[in-house]
Amino acid sequence: MTSSNFVSVSIQNLVKTYGNFQALRGVSLDIRAGEFVSILGPSGSGKTTMLQIIGGFARPTSGRVFFGNNDVTLLPPQKRDIGVVFQSYALFPHLSVAENIAFPLRARNISGAECKALVEKALDTVELGGYGERAISKLSGGQRQRVALARAIVFQPRLILMDEPLSALDKNLRETMQMELRNLHARLGATIVYVTHDQREALTMSDRVAVMSNGRIVQIDEPRTLYSSPVDHFVASFVGESTLVPVKRLGARQVALGDVVLNTASDVAQAQDIFIAIQSETLLPCSAAETEADSNYIQGTVRDLVFQGESLKASLELAGGTEIGFRIPSHRYNHLTLPQPGETVRLKLHVEDTIVVPANREVG
Amino acid sequence: MTSWIRSLLWIVTALILAFMILPIVIVVIMSFSDSRFLTFPPPGFSLRWYEAYFGNRDWMDATWTSIMLAAITTVVTVPIGTAAAYAANVSQSKFIRRLQLLLLTPVMVPVIILAAGIYMVYAQIGLVATKTGLVFAYAMMNVPYVFIAVLAGLRSFDMNQEDVARSLGVNRFTAFMKVTLPQIRPSVITGALFAFIGALDETVVSLFIAGGENQTLPRRMFMSLRNEIDPTIASISSVLVTASFALVILAGLRGRKTNAG
């Protein structure tokens, strides 16, 4: 893919209503050319509606969509030049691999040697060289995924849209494909909009992640920022593996969790209800005597300890009866000093990892 | 215990199948009779009633009229039924879903009422005993069968494929023709077969509105049954049954080939 057609995408004030139900309540989003943006949200958050509108499969009730400087809001899908990859892959089972990939080329009246060369090149790009004559039914899940991808990029689209394309694959393959998609994105310089409910997938691949809830984008940020500075209760609970516990504001950078005073690295919101979002991997067991300036300390009783392979998941009951979860990597060093259920342990939490968020923003 | 139930199931199944097949078998046997009357079992065997059928101009005319009308009906019905099924499958509107019911009324209304109604309307507008009138009537009566068969096929079809096809650069109609239709073809063929056989077979409405030079085979058979009971009817029935079976089996074989390919 020598020359690239990839464009920026601008979404302005999209509203979509179905009867009384508001699927989108005014969504705006600007995506740079060549940027990989994930739209992350639970089902019913509006992310699929958003993809449908960007793809041209549905029309917004109001609002506009621009590809580059072109207003494409009312353009049908066939005039948008977008490569779409669905969760089900939606390969055409009555056509061979090569015929599937040639489909968008035929639609553009490219045939013969040129078509063949482009198909070969696309197959090579997704590392499926030599698979052209295979029947779709003879391919594995991962191979189907690659064919769908090849078909979506072969005609040099302006944008690639993906709707949970990896969710049908098993875990290992999914992680391999995530890395491959990342590489492919870098190689093609493609503008990619990726819809998913898997926060880890979104964090792994994206330049930026837009978190959706109730038909709105709640936060859009780079993965690290999203993780370290969630804007509210919803984002904090959806990203990472965290326990949210109500806290009281004591000062600009100080809150109280029950009797325990915790310091934060950034200013605490002046909101009515605030919560501490404790990511399970940020807590570290420590000795009773330790006191570092950068650390907050929490003490509690271990309730459960479950072995989950690469780590152990534990729950800790605090003085007030609140339970929080934490993880211990399951290597030998830890196994020797593993806390037992019923034991009292002291955990430290870095000030930078002490994240306090306000309750969800008012949804009107 | 289980084996006892199993053998009972076998017997029940055999009885049901026998009940369905026996009338056909009896008709076929009677068609080879050498008697002047429809009797079972026949006193002797001959091909004279097949000669009586194939050698008679009136019978042959009626046969060709019926085949031609059935063919035209199929050509008219399949696109209409398929389009209706497509709409019912993709539409999210409640109104469209209610319209489905309207489409199925020809199956639910008693045929005799339908026939009387058609006759009254046709008598007013001069469509009685015309090919156009017959095709319209048959098409109306058989759209539900195409509709149901195609809808069943579409229900198990992944509509995302059409969305993808459109995003890849073709319009909706081309997407349907190139992606959807090849995959639901077995359902469409089944629907077409129902429509063809249904039209070929139609008797009640034809009794009211066929006639003159547009005499259909079932109508003529019915008339002849009224006048004289002779085994020609049995031989014609046997031919029709054989032809229908052949069509269904052919379609079945084709369906299997597409699935394997």
User: B184: distance to nearest CA of chain A, Å?
Assistant: 11
**In this complex, do B170 and A92 lie within 8 Å of one another by their Cβ atoms?**
no
Phi-psi region of B254 (alpha: psi -120 to 50; beta: other; left: phi over 0): alpha
> From the list A18, A88, A94, which residue is nearest B160 (CB)?
A88
Residues of A in contact with B179 (CB under 8 A): 92
> In this predicted model, what pLDDT tens digit does every residue of A181-210 receive, in sequence order?
999 899 889 999 999 999 999 999 999 999
Return the pLDDT at A2. 44
- Name the nearest CA neighbour of B83 among B198, B201, B200, B172: B172
The count of CB pairs under 8 A between chains A and B is: 64
Return the pLDDT at B261. 39
Judged against a pLDDT cut of 60, whether residue A1 lies above it is answered with no
Question: Which of A165-169, A252-256, A281-285 is least confident?
Answer: A165-169
Judged against a pLDDT cut of 80, whether residue B257 lies above it is answered with no
β-strand partners of A307: A312
A108 interfaces chain B, CB cutoff of 8 Å: yes
Q: Which residues of B touch A (CB under 8 A)?
A: 92, 158, 160-161, 163-172, 174, 178-179, 182-183, 258, 261
Return the pLDDT at A359. 87
> In this predicted model, what pLDDT tens digit does every residue of A40-97 receive, in sequence order?
999 889 999 999 999 999 999 999 999 999 999 999 999 999 999 998 889 999 999 9
* pLDDT category of residue A288 using cuts at 50, 70 and 90: confident
Mean pLDDT in residue range B185-212: 90
User: B97: distance to nearest CA of chain A, Å?
Assistant: 16
Distance CA B63, CA B69 (A): 10
Mean pLDDT in residue range B71-87: 95
Return the pLDDT at B40. 81
Return the pLDDT at B256. 64
Assembly ipTM = 0.80
Residues of B in contact with A88 (CB under 8 A): 158, 160
Angle between helices A112-125 and A97-107 (to 10 degrees): 120
Judged against a pLDDT cut of 90, whether residue A364 lies above it is answered with no
Q: Give the type of residue at A297.
A: Y
Residues 179-238 of A with CB under 8 A from B: none
User: A62: distance to nearest CA of chain B, Å?
Assistant: 20
Mean pLDDT in residue range A223-240: 91
A155 interfaces chain B, CB cutoff of 8 Å: yes
Judged against a pLDDT cut of 60, whether residue A175 lies above it is answered with yes
> From the list A55, A80, A90, which residue is nearest B161 (CB)?
A90
A307 interfaces chain B, CB cutoff of 8 Å: no
Mean pLDDT in residue range A3-20: 89
For A30, A201, A216, the CA distances from A196, given in Å and listed in that order, are 18, 8, 15
Judged against a pLDDT cut of 50, whether residue B260 lies above it is answered with no
For A110, B100, B146, B199, the CA distances from A182, given in Å and listed in that order, are 29, 47, 48, 59
- Cα-trace Rg, chain A: 24
Residues of B in contact with A94 (CB under 8 A): 182-183, 258, 261
Q: Where are the alpha helices (DSSP H) in B126-231?
A: 131-155, 160-167, 172-175, 181-201, 204-209, 217-227
User: A75: distance to nearest CA of chain B, Å?
Assistant: 11
Judged against a pLDDT cut of 90, whether residue A98 lies above it is answered with yes
* pLDDT category of residue A3 using cuts at 50, 70 and 90: low
pTM of the model: 0.81
Residues of A in contact with B158 (CB under 8 A): 88, 90
> From the list B158, B169, B261, which residue is nearest A90 (CB)?
B158
**In this complex, do B158 and A103 lie within 8 Å of one another by their Cβ atoms?**
no
User: A210: distance to nearest CA of chain B, Å?
Assistant: 24
Number of H-type helices and E-type strands within chain B: 12, 0
**What proportion of chain A, given as a percentage, has pLDDT over 90?**
60
> From the list A93, A94, A155, which residue is nearest B169 (CB)?
A155
Mean pLDDT in residue range A138-147: 91
Distance CA A177, CA A142 (A): 8
**In this complex, do A78 and B167 lie within 8 Å of one another by their Cβ atoms?**
yes
Distance CA B20, CA B29 (A): 16
Please provide the average confidence, as pLDDT, over all residues in chain B. Answer: 89
* pLDDT category of residue A270 using cuts at 50, 70 and 90: confident
Return the pLDDT at A88. 86
**In this complex, do B161 and A56 lie within 8 Å of one another by their Cβ atoms?**
no
Burial B227-246, CB ≥16 within 10 A → b, else e: eeebbbbbbbbbbbeeeeee
Mean pLDDT in residue range B7-28: 94
For residues A356 and A318, is the Cβ–Cβ distance under 8 A? no
Mean pLDDT in residue range A282-289: 87
Return the pLDDT at B247. 86
